[in-house]
Amino acid sequence: MATSLDLEGDVVDLLRRLVDVESVSGDEQQITDLVEQALRPYRHLQVSRQGNVLVARTELGRAERVVVAGHLDTVPIADNVPSRTTQEDGRTLVWGRGACDMKGGVAASLAAAAVLTAPRRDVTWIFYDNEEVEEQRNGLKRLAATHPQHLEAVFAVLCEPSNARIEGGCQGTMRVLVELTGVAAHSARSWKGHNAIHDAGAVLQALADHQPQQVVVDGLTYREGLNAVRVSGGIAGNVIPDRCEIEVNYRFAPDKSPEQAEAYVRSVLPGVPLRVTDVATGARPGLDQPAAAEFLAAVGGEPSAKFGWTDVARFSARGVPAVNFGPGDPSKAHADDEFCPGEEVVSCRDALVRWLS
């Protein structure tokens, strides 16, 4: 039952409409159609579509351009669609899949896009698909490859849930495989072998003893983490194991390159045989840019560091500083009891409008 979206009516109703249209990753056609229909009538927006990625641009010839982006997909439904609302302590809470991650942010940015007919900076509004699945399918990644001009800006805001506060940048993440080798033997004659699992002890102890760094980048404090996340080894109850693998995950501050991150892991585990299996660079918050400083002023409050990796890094990788800013508690993202406070949707819309008016 697709009904049209009213971008200039009650923004909480708009959020409920968006939640009521199921849009699990890979199934975003209907919601993208609705958002496209809602945006097309606005003469101040040039709307284009590639698959289920929508781009709406103002073309006012302003000296600077900013991007505001959000994904339209959700993780699978958990008996939490359609939406419902409750009143708690004078607040309206909207419940349902995607309310928090991140249709609240999408509602706020759609409402802002509709009323900002002459923003002070040109704006590229991006709504995309397949954020919640493997990154080869990510709509923003695809857009960056096929239409990179749409990501060009001096600053980007990604409307991921952040309790309506600014979370700057994001940490990088690296997976490292420690590969310990020994000599297999029958456990009845263990002195003829070398036990690779026993060698894991020193590696695990070094990781347990390690004090993670706290790194200040552009005024925000990033708290790193270096942890064993998986251990495997051993083939039978009577065999001295000749192999043991430890997977290590390093969450690193966005001032480190992948090479520096690898060097850091090697410095904690000197002489240990390891190789990097996966790495994603973090994103600097870039809060010293004028567009970012004005955004901070419009939102108010103190920005904090983002722990975790988000699509802000896709902007950062192109030299565009980016922050997360959206309604909803990120710890409720993907939860069965996902919800978003209606007041935060309103305050995020109002902050975007204040910033760009």
Which residues are annotated as catalytic?
73, 131
CB of 83 to Zn ion, least distance (A): 17
Residue type for 89, please?
A: D
At which residue do the structure tokens 């991140």 appear? 102
Kindly tell me which of 101 and 167 has the beta carbon lying closer to Zn ion: 101
CB of 197 to Zn ion, least distance (A): 39
Are the C-beta atoms of 316 and 140 separated by less than 8 Å?
A: no
What is the torsional sign of CA 171, 218, 164, 64?
negative
Residue ranges binding Zn ion (CB under 5 A): 101-102, 160
Kindly tell me which of 42 and 339 has the beta carbon lying closer to Zn ion: 339
Look at strands 65-71 and 172-181 and give their pairing.
Answer: unpaired
CB of 173 to Zn ion, least distance (A): 16
What is the torsional sign of CA 56, 57, 58, 59?
negative
Kindly tell me which of 101 and 218 has the beta carbon lying closer to Zn ion: 101
CB of 307 to Zn ion, least distance (A): 15
What is the torsional sign of CA 55, 69, 23, 34?
negative
For residue 68, what are the CA distances in angstroms to 26, 153, 326?
A: 22, 10, 11
At which residue do the structure tokens 């958990």 appear? 78
Sequence-ordered list of residues with C-beta below 8 angstroms from that of 102, at least 6 positions apart, any chain: 70, 71, 159, 160, 161, 326, 328, 333
Kindly tell me which of 160 and 224 has the beta carbon lying closer to Zn ion: 160
